[in-house]
Amino acid sequence: MIWQFTLVDSSNAEFAINEPIGWDEITWTARRNIAHHGIFFNINTGSLNYIDLAFDMLLAEYELNGADGTMQLKIEYQCTPQETFEEFFFGKFDFNTFKRTCAKECFIECQVIAVNCVDNFLSAIDTDISLDTTKDLQGNTISHILEQTMLLQGQDIVLNNKASVPEGGATCDNTICLDTTFSGYKDFFIPVYFPTTAINDFGEFNSNNSNCVVIRKDDGVSNILFPMSEADFDNYYNFMWLYKPEFIEGLNCIGDTELNIKIKGSITVHPEVLITCSTYLRIAIVNPLTSTPTYLHDVVIGTSDRIINGGDYNIVDFDYTWTDTIGQLSDGQYLHAYFQVQTQNIGGANDCKYLQLGVVMNEESYFSMANFSECQSSFNKSYNVNDVFEFIPTVISNGCFTVNANNSCLDYYSICNGLQIRNVVAPRPQVFLNFSDYFKNISKIFNLGWGFDANETELIIDDVRNFYSESVITDVGSVDKMEFQNATELNYSLINLGYSTWEAEEYSGLDEMNTARQYRRNVKGFNRPIDLLSNYIAAGYTIEITRRKGLDLTSNSDWRYDDSIFIINNSNTGSNVTAFRGVEGNPQNISSPGTRFNYIITPIRNLMRWFKSLAMSPDITNELLTFNSSNGNYIACGQMTSYCPIEISEICENQTITSADFLSQNDARPIWKPMYMTFECPLTMAQKILIQANPYSVIKANCNGTDYYGSIISCDYSPNQGTAKFKLLEKIIYD
């Protein structure tokens, strides 16, 4: 091996120098980042001591410019004198590390930092950039990313209200004075009394039933007059309503409401004077100030005009179950539910007599409303997931390598933030992302890798399997000793996956599937979790609630998810896309399955995409991933057949996953065995060149008559000694 060392000054003039002291310790290394599976190369120049011309030039540069000095080092090699010199290393001196020693022979030490695209990229992967930018980090003009217009047809939301009666029942009663002019009708109104509001997803619901109220009305007629005065409403009818719609501007979300009521209990009437009594249950829709009631349910409880002697107790039992569907109420309308007790004195009285009224509500009683809320479509701006993967490196690398996001399945996904979903236009929403965080959150859904290939001239982002090829690139032959060690950091027992952000205000959230979930492997000897919780939002309910808070609804008000990143599955690609909706096969335990967003990326499917990185044995029939815990709807079932489906039939979010659940067994096969193989062997420069050009291929070695195959975890190559130390992850070869 013949070496050539050259200094390059600030004017790019080149000066051949003598070999620095320590040149024979130069090594080449390859290291895999186990988090994202990419392999990176480095030249370790060690502690070189520069003498003669190199000493003079480095000293002069430091004395002139100090720590800001500029000088570069080029190292070239040739294997035989007949060959041309090839570049081995090019880097710049870091004069912050300048050190001069004077002894019998004076020399200078100064660290050299590699100058290449990869290092520049790695130094900036945590830098946030705007997807609107048309400049790279060096200020050069670049092509802007393609902006998509996404059609969001909306996800139907079932909003629920429910009022109930606690265990043991509830009583609403009062004692009222019957005055001396008790000659006509006296009407008493008692709310259908539900003390507990169990759920309140929409409108104002059950707000006047937390306290029992008995209202007396002396108008001498059989019912309250309609329309009524505001005073009468405030004094009487205001206590009788169960539901009032809340009207806000924005998307038109007209939906029918299903009403379900069960009232079981009794009414007690106890007068001090002979009366007649009629008792009614009335459920009505009305704007009390402008219209007469529309009775949805109006029945007599017991016997009309029943005669009750003074001092007697008249107890009437009731047990009604009733269902109806109503359209959206208009502004000013209320839904009322009340008992009306109409009495008339037929025994005469010249002084105050008392009437005791009481309603007992049985604990089985409840009132529920289910609003099937469907909103009109909207459009928003978004970006294709693969386009973003290619755009960010272009911005931070000055385009000095090609970028290829090769996973075609990701072409059917877009990202955007909450401001874009809400169609805020002024100021224009900006999406800021850095490559490291973006990859991490997308990979937790799809199980990806990223790294450089083809002598670090190409950055690839793809399925993790493509970073562990089964193709053998070099056979290093027989080795004297090979050590095997368990790859502890690749063995997991608990899998936390899904989405960290999924709750939405204004609904219960129990029906949402894209939530946080935990699974466990069928292992007992260790306890090691893996975090696969994405911080991006895929929850259909959260998408829809955010969409409904459009700019025309909220003006410039903030929304809690304005700056959050959403990921949405599309049914087509290009500049105009449509958000895909629906569960394609055999949906179960899902509200409105035909309008669901992002069912293809529910946690169970994310888990299946990660199965090949979690399963450890080639005999995959032994692998079980068992449901442990979850938030939201973990009993949802269904099948997806479009956009790179992974399941062979319908699956449920809480089922145990085995290899039999996969459409393709290739998606279930483990990529590696969790076993490191370490050995030292001869390695030629030609083999090193092959490895650097194909870093994700397999290294083959033989020990004691057995062939072993491995993917590079690390390689330390000493070109002067012609040896390398390998650490390989044992590769499973299926083909």
Enumerate the β-bridge partners of residue 727.
Answer: 678, 714
Q: What is the bridge-based pairing of β-strands 257-271 and 353-361?
A: antiparallel
| Ranges of each domain in the chain | 2-115, 158-373, 378-457+489-667
CATH number of 158-373: 2.60.120.750
Closest CA to 309 of 279, 278, 341, 276: 276
Closest CA to 675 of 701, 704, 713, 703: 713
Average pLDDT for consecutive 10-residue bins of the chain (735 residues)? 92 94 91 95 88 95 95 90 87 94 91 85 94 92 94 88 93 75 73 88 80 73 70 81 78 81 94 88 90 90 88 92 91 90 76 82 94 88 97 89 94 96 88 97 98 92 96 95 94 95 71 95 85 97 88 63 96 93 96 94 98 83 89 95 95 95 94 95 94 96 96 95 96 85
pLDDT at 162: 93
Residues 370, 195 contacting (CB under 8 angstroms): no
Output the six-digit token pair for 333.
């309308």
The per-residue pLDDT for range 243-273, each reduced to its tens digit, is 998 876 556 676 789 999 999 999 999 988 8
Residues 653, 705 contacting (CB under 8 angstroms): no
Cα separation values, 91 from 58, 60, 229, 516, Å: 14, 19, 88, 46
Indicate the angle between helix axes 435-446 and 603-614, nearest 10 degrees: 90
In angstroms, the CA 443 to CA 534 distance is 8
Closest CA to 589 of 525, 532, 635: 635
- Helix or strand run (H / E) with residue 285: strand 275-286
Residues 17, 6 contacting (CB under 8 angstroms): yes
Q: Sign of dihedral through CA atoms 487, 493, 497, 503?
A: negative
In angstroms, the CA 568 to CA 576 distance is 14
Buried residues in 164-182 as b, exposed as e (16+ CB within 10 A): bbeeebbebebebebeeeb
Q: What is the DSSP string of 130-153?
A: ETT--B-TTS-B-PPPPPEEEEE-
Q: For residue 196, how many other CB atoms are within 10 A of its CB?
A: 14
In angstroms, the CA 712 to CA 695 distance is 7
- Please confirm whether the linkage preceding 20 is cis (ω < 30° from 0): no
Enumerate the β-bridge partners of residue 73.
Answer: 7, 91
Output the six-digit token pair for 513.
């599937």
Residues 449, 406 contacting (CB under 8 angstroms): no
pLDDT at 182: 52
pLDDT at 553: 47
Going by C-beta distance under 8 Å and a sequence separation of 6 or more, which residues neighbour residue 123? none
Closest CA to 601 of 453, 728, 502, 698: 502
pLDDT at 342: 87
Cα separation values, 239 from 207, 221, 262, 499, Å: 9, 20, 20, 43
Sheet holding 107-109, edge to edge: 49-50, 107-109, 99-101
Cα 670 to the center of its chain, rounded Å:
26
The greatest distance separating any two alpha carbons of the chain, rounded to the nearest whole angstrom, comes to 133
Residues 19, 1 contacting (CB under 8 angstroms): no
Buried residues in 631-665 as b, exposed as e (16+ CB within 10 A): bbbbebbbbbeebbbbbeebbebbbebbbebbbee
- DSSP helix/strand/coil, 567: strand
The pTM for the full model equals 0.82
In angstroms, the CA 149 to CA 641 distance is 25
Outline where 594-669 has alpha helix (H).
603-614
Show contacts of 1-4: CB within 8 Å, 24+ apart. Answer: 1/77, 1/78, 1/79, 1/685, 1/719, 1/720, 1/722, 2/77, 2/78, 2/79, 2/80, 2/81, 3/75, 3/76, 3/77, 3/88, 4/75, 4/76, 4/77, 4/78, 4/85
Looking at residue 326, the DSSP 8-state letter turns out to be E
Looking at residue 566, the DSSP 8-state letter turns out to be E
In angstroms, the CA 502 to CA 498 distance is 10
Q: For residue 396, how many other CB atoms are within 10 A of its CB?
A: 21
Task: Report the amino acid identity of residue 528.
Answer: R
Closest CA to 242 of 291, 296, 301: 296
pLDDT at 5: 95
- Counting runs of H as helices and runs of E as strands, what totals does the chain give? 10, 47
Cα 140 to the center of its chain, rounded Å:
34
Cα separation values, 607 from 26, 360, 541, 604, 615, Å: 44, 52, 21, 5, 11
pLDDT at 538: 97
